[in-house]
Structure 1
Amino acid sequence: MANDALYNSALQDFLIDAQVLLTKAEECLLHLQLIDNDPDACHCLNHTLTTLVERAQALRLVEVAAYSLQLQQLLEPAKAQPALQGEALQALESCLTLLAWQLELIDPRTGRLSLDTEEQVQLLDTLASALSPAASLACASCIEARHTCEHPAPAKTAPAAAHSPALSSPTKGN
């Protein structure tokens, strides 16, 4: 029972800290909407997502950690190129909105998040496409099947990053 109490306390602390981190990420997004691809805002956003990933992984919050990691990995290369503008910022805003919902829906006793990943995969794919129009994480059939492509789509090939385990989505009930 003492371990349960410690975990619940750590989970509650995480949920409070995660809201602070999410607010910081949203502030970075607002900054990027004013100044496209601003290096300081990109760095802050990346650092904020990395911190969220580390904290979620430490508590074994698999769903939040996986989604945040995928988001962070998509944004990491964007720091070096003028990619965080226009459609990419709109897609990023949608991704952060979903992250906010995920944080709200975490069971405060168990830390589980029982959602399917279809919207998550679609949003990450939209962001990937906006960051690099030639890249896409999933074809339509894989989005429908709720997983990341690992095969060539017609007229293009999924990027090598799509093959990494970090880009595979957790499934409902995990």
Structure 2
Amino acid sequence: MPADLKPRAVMLAPEAPYPLAGGGALRTASLLHGLARHFQVDLIVFRQPADPDPRAALPRRLVNRIEIIYLPENRRTASARLLRNTVRLVRQVPPLVDRFSGFERQVAAALKGERYDLGIIEHFWCASYWEQIAPVCRRTILNLHNVESVLHERCAGVEKGATAFAHGVFARVAAEMEAHWLPRFSH
């Protein structure tokens, strides 16, 4: 089908599907290729500071348009990670939800003036962007790789001490967030 006759879709993903580096990128790329067979796709991705520009690795004509949201630098030392996760624990915000939160203006700007037949949000970490995506889409789907509350609950069951406690808190908070966000998405 000619591209201009295909329905339109937008996909928001916490990581770029290309270059293919890791299971998350591979899964997102697979979904994107399937989607592009039937839709004109606009892609919104987050980019870590040191990652290569995803536009260079994206196959030509796979997407109509790509918008990149730049994440702030995150120190990766053990002490920096401990501090970040302690703050997240006190604030009761799961780590990856925290990492990908706060970009509502950038997502809204990427969608400004657009209308889509379908919106797909990858990962629960980005579920809150339903508020920006759903108003411009006829249907909005959340594509879950896993259920965050169950993941944290299982981690709490095998970890010890403070790590088990933190996962327990994040499991409870994630369950509350799932109860809030999941019913909003199309089925």
TM-score, length basis structure 2: 0.27
Structure with greater proportional strand content: 2
Query: What's the TM-score, normalizing by structure 1?
Result: 0.29
